[in-house]
């Protein structure tokens, strides 16, 4: 080979090394796409191999069925509306008897919740199966008690058949199996987006500005907390740099220092933002993050004891914010087609709704 070619080759390879592609940078920073391969995806959404079409269909019915609540009026979809990005669009959740969430908590989206390491704003639940039992019983949400729930569902013959078909003849229809079916349906609520297409190798899937936004998002340290498949979903410290300006709305921050980082997937559809839903505008939400949080970079081996943690105050120019906003639009996912189910009819034995209203 001629010396010039050699020189050129070595320049090219050092440039490559010095400038890893944006896709590589994103992956190195801990961002992961929703896999396109069905098998790879089901390893993540269904590690125990529990999803069957029958269970998903049953879970979908129960998800939409208001009879799962004491009043017979409130379904999961009431607060996690699948036609509205999986949320209710109000600052604090409103449940049984028009009760507000006592801690002034906003309803998080159920889309992609299967990828979260922790569920609930304080991360108190680790799985969807466990999580789904909470709202059914919560007095301010569906206010249902265990016995009444089992009686209601068992009194509806078509549900009993569907439970047997889905879980076997000896299935016990109770809070646990009902929550299990609902959670199985939730496992299917994943929304791949143009961002995933990009990370999966389609370089044209993002516009130039969206790519710049992704790079800014990485370089400014947002990925410290908004990472993995959900761009969130694990517990992280909040108010690292300053106090959140609406910290006194509700009492969540009186008892919690760590917050389950909300997913940024479909973020343009899930306003209002933050745990108490006080910020309506996405631009303002990004600015508040800039004020409140710091990013950090860890260098050195993870296993070693002398971790070198570099704290980085986040500072964003107007262009940075515009670029991040553009990038956020690319996180809007393709939703699964959900046909609103016809729910099986009640029988003469079905316990009546109790609305507790005057």
**Least distance in Å: CB of 98 to ligand HEC?**
10
Q: Which is nearer to ligand HEC, 23 or 149 (CB)?
A: 149
| Residue whose C-alpha is closest to residue 20's, from 7, 29, 33, 8 | 29
Cβ burial 36-61 (10 Å sphere, 16+ → b, else e):
eeeeeeeeebeeeeebeebbbbbbbb
> Taking the complex as a whole, how short is the minimal distance between the CB of residue 192 and ligand HEC, in angstroms?
19
Q: Which is nearer to ligand HEC, 167 or 244 (CB)?
A: 244
- What are the E-state strand segments in 144-288? 235-237, 258-260
Closest separation between CB of residue 244 and ligand HEC, Å?
6
Please name which of 263, 322, 277 lies closest in space to residue 116, comparing C-alpha atoms: 263
129 catalytically annotated: no
Sequence-ordered list of residues with C-beta below 8 angstroms from that of 126, at least 6 positions apart, any chain: 117, 118, 119
- Closer of 202 and 356 to ligand HEC (Cβ): 356
d(CA 74, CA 140): 11
- For ligand HEC, the binding residues (CB under 6 A) are 74, 76, 78-80, 93, 95, 101, 105, 107-108, 110, 113, 116, 119-121, 128, 131-132, 135-136, 141-142, 182, 220-222, 224-226, 236-238, 240, 244, 259-262, 267, 270, 273-275, 285-286, 289-290, 293, 295, 314, 324
Given the residues 129, 141, 162, 290, the one annotated as active site: 141
Complex with ligand HEC: residue 1 or 98, whichever CB lies closer = 98
Residue 111 to residue 308: CA distance in whole angstroms = 36
- Residue 310's DSSP bridge partners are 297
Q: Are 137 and 144 in contact (CB under 8 A)?
A: yes
**Smallest distance from ligand HEC to CB 164, Å:** 21
Catalytic residues: 141
């Amino acid at each position: 080979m001629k010396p010039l070619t050699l020189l050129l080759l070595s320049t090219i390879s050092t440039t490559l090394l010095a400038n890893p592609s944006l896709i590589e940078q994103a992956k190195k920073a801990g961002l992961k796409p929703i896999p396109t391969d069905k098998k790879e995806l089901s390893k993540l959404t269904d590690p125990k191999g529990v999803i069957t079409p029958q269970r998903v269909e049953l879970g979908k019915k129960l998800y939409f069925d208001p009879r799962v609540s004491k009043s017979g009026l409130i379904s999961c979809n009431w607060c996690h509306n699948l036609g509205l990005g999986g949320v209710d669009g109000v600052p604090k959740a409103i449940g049984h008897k028009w009760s507000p969430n006592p801690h002034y908590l906003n309803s998080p989206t159920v889309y992609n919740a299967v990828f979260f390491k922790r569920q609930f704003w304080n991360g108190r639940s680790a799985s969807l199966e466990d999580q789904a039992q909470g709202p059914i019983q919560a007095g301010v949400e569906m206010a249902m008690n265990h016995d009444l729930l089992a009686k209601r569902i068992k009194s509806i013959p078509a549900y009993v058949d569907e439970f047997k078909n889905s879980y076997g003849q000896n299935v016990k229809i109770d809070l646990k199996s009902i929550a299990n079916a609902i959670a199985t349906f939730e496992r299917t609520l994943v929304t791949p987006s143009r961002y995933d297409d990009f990370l999966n190798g389609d370089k044209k899937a993002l516009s130039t500005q969206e790519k710049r936004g992704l790079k800014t998002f990485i370089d400014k340290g947002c990925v410290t907390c908004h990472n993995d498949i959900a761009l969130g979903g694990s517990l992280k410290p909040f108010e690292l740099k300053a106090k959140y300006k609406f910290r006194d709305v509700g009492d969540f921050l009186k008892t919690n220092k760590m917050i389950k980082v909300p997913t940024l997937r479909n973020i343009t559809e899930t306003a209002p933002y933050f745990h108490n839903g006080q910020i309506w505008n996405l631009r303002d939400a990004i600015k508040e993050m800039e004020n409140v949080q710091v990013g950090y970079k860890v260098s050195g081996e993870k296993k070693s004891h002398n971790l070198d943690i570099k704290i980085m105050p986040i500072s964003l120019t107007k262009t940075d914010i515009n670029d991040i906003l553009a990038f956020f639009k690319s996180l809007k996912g393709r939703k699964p087609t959900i046909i609103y189910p016809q729910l099986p009819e009640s029988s003469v034995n079905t316990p009546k709704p109790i609305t507790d209203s005057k």
